[in-house]
């Protein structure tokens, strides 16, 4: 990523952007010097039921981590995303939905309709006994009803926990259990690229696996019309439930610090953690970033291609665009179905102004040459965006040239599930672009780079990326586990939030994210904990020990590379390798499928028994000459065996 070519702010944005260079500088300065004043002013973009008097109450001190914003104010997120727009926009599209099947019936949902649908479902949830503070689990396809369900929860003060439809029944049950959900909303099936995913069947299995939660109601959307099993005591059809509800559902008055949702994400150790986001700060952060980073104006069609099962879908398919009275695109399918021209045809069909996607999708299209844009017009586009992983300059330039016709800036947005919204990103009217760099901090964001001893580094340098102060969209805690929250994010560097990423800062103060420095993988822009994959593997009878590391992968960014030591009565075979891959898919989901399995008689361990992953990572990446010091290994000979085994496996 040493590409230092600069793409200056374009004429279009220089003249018309909401934030130009000078405005960025002065607003940024103000947001750092007077965060309370800055955020109090910005908070006016939301409708408050009761105004707040306190802006910020934050401590990052290890012995007392607490994060509160606007904590005596009250509001409702659904009212902010729907009701307040009705007067001006009841007939304007809120959601445009494009189905998996090209040419299939699409849907345009106006704000008026969104209001009715969300209110009816909210009443339906109430009729099933859902109350303020209850956690409702959503396991849905990419359909408007997924957004309705999120907003219906928000409307009545219930907390949604969306689980990506690609996760297995095992993974789903863990999340239902952790949240103590009594109600699950799902669909008969999901459709993706012409294939179906048996969501309802997965829910049935997940519910039967639950150890803690007693699921009392499963609401099932009829989507593909597939036959599904039905438990009359527990299951109800979505359409039957909402069919009998009133369209009038008053919103629940929520404290700014009441939880809006929980979303699970992988860490470097243990089980996925339930990231807790609250109402006021999160909504403000997604609204302001959506407006400024994407220079969004109501009336434009905004398309974030992420699934609502991820934070990107929460923040930039649902909450940000709708809080701003925008029109948000939802696409059920995948980029290469029925062929690789699908995305550009969708952009033309709906005159999409902003297209926000993942580097992995760009790389997979880039491999097809000109086909992804052949015959497409794409002149509706004004801006492009990427998220999820560093983008290689080659892919950046391809996206810029082919989709953006050299005219559309690309905002490379760095953030995390934990941050709620974008924290480091160009603003199209203010920031000259450098391919591969997420560039500069957003308002109120104070990044810093640290060395291994915990000292802050100045100037052009590299180090661990921390944030020195809070921002409104920051996660507040890990569900049921504040100690783990403190330990994970606030114990590495005193008084700062540690992101888990490494970064470089150049002479212009631009940030270049270099990737995770912990045991978290980034596979196709999705986070995967190595510990999760390892614990799935060792649950298999044949496996004695497993170590998982990332390896470079052309399309996915990182692939999953597994070292397996077998039990004595098992022996390596291609069949067993296949079986183990299947096993992990079943335990976690297809996104966790190992790319490479290497059989290993032994793993590189220190004398105290700790696996030296650094060595495993280097071997998996073909960097045999950079193994570093191996003298502390209990048995240095394993290294040669592993290198030999790697040549066979890779």
* Contact positions vs ligand WT7 (CB under 6 A): 265, 311-312, 387-390, 412-417, 438, 499-501, 513, 515-516, 522, 527
Instruction: Tell me the chain's radius of gyration from C-alpha atoms.
Output: 24
Cα of 340 vs its chain's centroid, Å = 24
Between residues 388 and 594, which has the closer beta carbon with respect to ligand WT7?
Answer: 388
Cα of 403 vs its chain's centroid, Å = 23
Peptide bond preceding 338: is omega within 30 degrees of 0, i.e. cis? yes
Say if residue 262 carries a ligand binding annotation: no
Q: For residues 577 and 566, what is the distance between their CA atoms, to the nearest angstrom? A: 11
CB of residue 418 to ligand WT7, shortest distance in Å:
7
Between residues 157 and 309, which has the closer beta carbon with respect to ligand WT7?
Answer: 309
Say if residue 336 carries a ligand binding annotation: yes
Say if residue 417 carries a ligand binding annotation: yes
CB of 421 closer than 8 Å to CB of 415: yes
CB of residue 516 to ligand WT7, shortest distance in Å:
5
CB of residue 489 to ligand WT7, shortest distance in Å:
12
Q: For residues 188 and 54, what is the distance between their CA atoms, to the nearest angstrom? A: 46
Say if residue 74 carries a ligand binding annotation: no
Say if residue 431 carries a ligand binding annotation: no
B/e letters for 229-253, b = 16+ CB within 10 Å, e = fewer, are eeeeeebbebeebbeebeeebebbe
CB of residue 442 to ligand WT7, shortest distance in Å:
12
Q: Which residue is associated with the tokens 């290890």?
A: 62
Please give the biggest Cα pair distance in the chain.
73
Between residues 429 and 500, which has the closer beta carbon with respect to ligand WT7?
Answer: 500
Between residues 97 and 264, which has the closer beta carbon with respect to ligand WT7?
Answer: 264
Contacts of 328 (CB under 8 A, 6+ apart): 94, 95, 96, 302, 303, 304, 317, 318, 321, 322
Between residues 114 and 422, which has the closer beta carbon with respect to ligand WT7?
Answer: 422
Say if residue 477 carries a ligand binding annotation: no
CB of residue 412 to ligand WT7, shortest distance in Å:
5
Say if residue 501 carries a ligand binding annotation: yes
Between residues 93 and 473, which has the closer beta carbon with respect to ligand WT7?
Answer: 473
CB of 264 closer than 8 Å to CB of 274: yes
For every residue of 181-196, DSSP letters joined together read: -SEEEEES-EEETTEE
CB of residue 110 to ligand WT7, shortest distance in Å:
29
Q: For residues 186 and 234, what is the distance between their CA atoms, to the nearest angstrom? A: 13
CB of residue 416 to ligand WT7, shortest distance in Å:
4
Say if residue 37 carries a ligand binding annotation: no
B/e letters for 545-576, b = 16+ CB within 10 Å, e = fewer, are bbbbbbbebeebbbbbbbbbbbeeeeebeeeb
CB of residue 139 to ligand WT7, shortest distance in Å:
18
Beta bridge partners of 513: 503
Q: For residues 281 and 294, what is the distance between their CA atoms, to the nearest angstrom? A: 19
Nearest to 487 by CA among 518, 516, 511: 518
410-413 vs 159-162, strand pairing mode: unpaired
CB of residue 388 to ligand WT7, shortest distance in Å:
4
Between residues 89 and 504, which has the closer beta carbon with respect to ligand WT7?
Answer: 504
CB-closest chain residue to ligand WT7:
417
Say if residue 115 carries a ligand binding annotation: no
What is the phi/psi pair of residue 213, to 5°?
-85, 140
CB of residue 414 to ligand WT7, shortest distance in Å:
4
Say if residue 193 carries a ligand binding annotation: yes
Nearest to 588 by CA among 640, 521, 637, 533: 533
Between residues 73 and 404, which has the closer beta carbon with respect to ligand WT7?
Answer: 404
First to last CA, the chain: 25
Say if residue 527 carries a ligand binding annotation: yes
Between residues 38 and 403, which has the closer beta carbon with respect to ligand WT7?
Answer: 403
CB of 565 closer than 8 Å to CB of 543: yes
Query: How many C-beta atoms surround the C-beta of residue 376 within 10 A?
Result: 16
Say if residue 194 carries a ligand binding annotation: yes
Q: For residues 509 and 195, what is the distance between their CA atoms, to the nearest angstrom? A: 46
CB of 191 closer than 8 Å to CB of 100: yes
Between residues 179 and 421, which has the closer beta carbon with respect to ligand WT7?
Answer: 421
Nearest to 19 by CA among 440, 326, 570: 440
Say if residue 516 carries a ligand binding annotation: yes
Half-sphere exposure of 204 (CA within 13 A, CB side): 15
Between residues 168 and 220, which has the closer beta carbon with respect to ligand WT7?
Answer: 168
Between residues 117 and 389, which has the closer beta carbon with respect to ligand WT7?
Answer: 389
Say if residue 106 carries a ligand binding annotation: no
Nearest to 185 by CA among 308, 72, 285: 308
Say if residue 459 carries a ligand binding annotation: no
Q: Which two tokens stand for residue 134?
A: 């209850």
Between residues 241 and 410, which has the closer beta carbon with respect to ligand WT7?
Answer: 410
DSSP 310: S
CB of residue 514 to ligand WT7, shortest distance in Å:
8
CB of residue 517 to ligand WT7, shortest distance in Å:
9
Say if residue 390 carries a ligand binding annotation: yes
Between residues 325 and 388, which has the closer beta carbon with respect to ligand WT7?
Answer: 388
CB of residue 233 to ligand WT7, shortest distance in Å:
37
Dihedral sign for Cα 642, 643, 647, 650, please. Answer: positive
3-state SS string over 355-371? EEECHHHHHHHHCCCCH
Say if residue 594 carries a ligand binding annotation: no
CB of residue 413 to ligand WT7, shortest distance in Å:
5
Say if residue 540 carries a ligand binding annotation: yes
| Residues that constitute the known binding site for Mg(2+) | 538, 540, 543
| Residues that constitute the known binding site | 192-195, 312, 336, 388-390, 412-417, 501, 516, 524, 527, 538, 540, 543, 585
| Residues that constitute the known binding site for ATP | 388-390, 412-417, 501, 516, 527
| Residues that constitute the known binding site for CoA | 192-195, 312, 336, 524, 585
């Amino acid at each position: 990523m040493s590409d230092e070519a600069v793409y200056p702010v374009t004429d279009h944005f220089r003249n018309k952007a909401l934030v130009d260079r000078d405005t960025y500088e002065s607003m940024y300065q103000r947001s750092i010097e007077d965060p309370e004043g800055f955020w109090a002013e910005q908070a006016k973009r939301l409708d408050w039921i009761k105004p707040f008097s306190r802006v910020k109450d934050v401590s990052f001190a290890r012995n007392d981590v607490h994060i509160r914003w606007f904590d005596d104010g009250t509001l409702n997120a659904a009212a902010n995303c729907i009701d307040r727009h009705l007067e001006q926009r009841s007939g304007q599209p809120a959601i445009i939905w494009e189905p998996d099947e090209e040419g299939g019936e699409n849907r345009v949902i106006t704000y008026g309709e969104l209001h009715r649908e969300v209110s009816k479902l909210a009443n339906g949830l109430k009729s099933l006994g859902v109350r303020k503070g209850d956690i409702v689990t959503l396991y849905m396809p990419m359909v408007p009803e997924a957004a309705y369900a999120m907003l219906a929860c928000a409307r009545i003060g219930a907390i949604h926990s969306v689980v990506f439809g690609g996760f297995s029944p095992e993974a789903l049950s863990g999340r239902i259990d952790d949240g103590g959900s009594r109600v699950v909303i799902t669909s008969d099936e999901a459709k993706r690229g012409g294939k179906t995913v048996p969501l309802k069947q997965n829910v049935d299995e997940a519910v039967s696996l639950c150890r803690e939660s007693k699921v009392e109601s499963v609401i099932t959307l009829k989507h593909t019309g597939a036959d599904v099993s039905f438990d009359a005591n527990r299951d109800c059809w979505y359409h039957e439930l909402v069919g009998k509800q009133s369209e009038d559902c008053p919103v629940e008055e929520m404290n700014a610090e009441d939880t809006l949702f929980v979303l699970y994400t992988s860490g470097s150790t243990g089980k996925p953690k339930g990231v807790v986001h609250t109402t006021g700060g999160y909504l403000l952060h997604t609204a302001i970033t959506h407006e400024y980073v994407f220079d969004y104006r109501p009336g434009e069609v905004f398309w974030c291609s992420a699934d609502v099962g991820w934070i990107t879908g929460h923040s930039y398919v649902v909450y940000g665009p709708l809080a701003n009275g925008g029109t948000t695109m939802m696409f059920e399918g995948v980029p290469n179905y029925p062929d690789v021209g699908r995305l550009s045809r969708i952009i033309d069909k709906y005159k999409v102004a902003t297209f926000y996607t993942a580097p992995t999708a760009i790389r997979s299209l880039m491999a097809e040459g000109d086909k992804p844009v052949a015959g497409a017009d794409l002149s509706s586009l004004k801006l492009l965006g990427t998220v999820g992983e560093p983008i290689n300059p080659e892919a950046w330039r391809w996206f810029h040239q082919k989709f953006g016709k050299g005219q559309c800036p690309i905002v490379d947005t760095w953030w995390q599930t934990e941050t709620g919204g974008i924290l480091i990103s160009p603003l199209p009217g203010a920031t000259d672009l450098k391919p591969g760099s997420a560039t500069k901090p957003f308002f109120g964001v104070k990044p810093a780079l640290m060395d291994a001893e915990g000292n802050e580094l100045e100037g052009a340098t590299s180090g661990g990326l921390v944030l020195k102060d809070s921002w409104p969209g920051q996660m507040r805690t890990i569900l049921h586990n504040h100690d783990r929250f403190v330990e994970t994010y606030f114990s590495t560097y005193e008084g700062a939030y540690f992101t888990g990423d490494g970064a470089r800062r150049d002479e212009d103060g631009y940030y270049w994210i270099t990737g995770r420095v912990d045991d978290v993988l980034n596979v196709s822009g999705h986070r995967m904990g190595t510990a999760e994959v390892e614990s799935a593997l060792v649950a298999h009878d044949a496996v004695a020990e497993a170590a998982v590391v990332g390896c470079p992968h052309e399309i996915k960014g990182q692939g999953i590379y597994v070292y397996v030591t077998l039990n004595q009565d098992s022996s390596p075979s291609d069949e067993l390798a296949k079986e183990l891959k299947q096993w992990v898919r079943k335990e976690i989901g297809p996104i966790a499928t190992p790319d490479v399995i290497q059989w290993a008689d032994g793993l590189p361990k220190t004398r105290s028994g700790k696996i030296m992953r650094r060595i495993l990572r280097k071997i998996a990446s073909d960097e045999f000459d950079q193994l570093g010091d191996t003298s502390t290994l209990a048995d240095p000979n394993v290294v040669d065996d592993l290198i030999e085994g790697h040549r066979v496996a890779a």
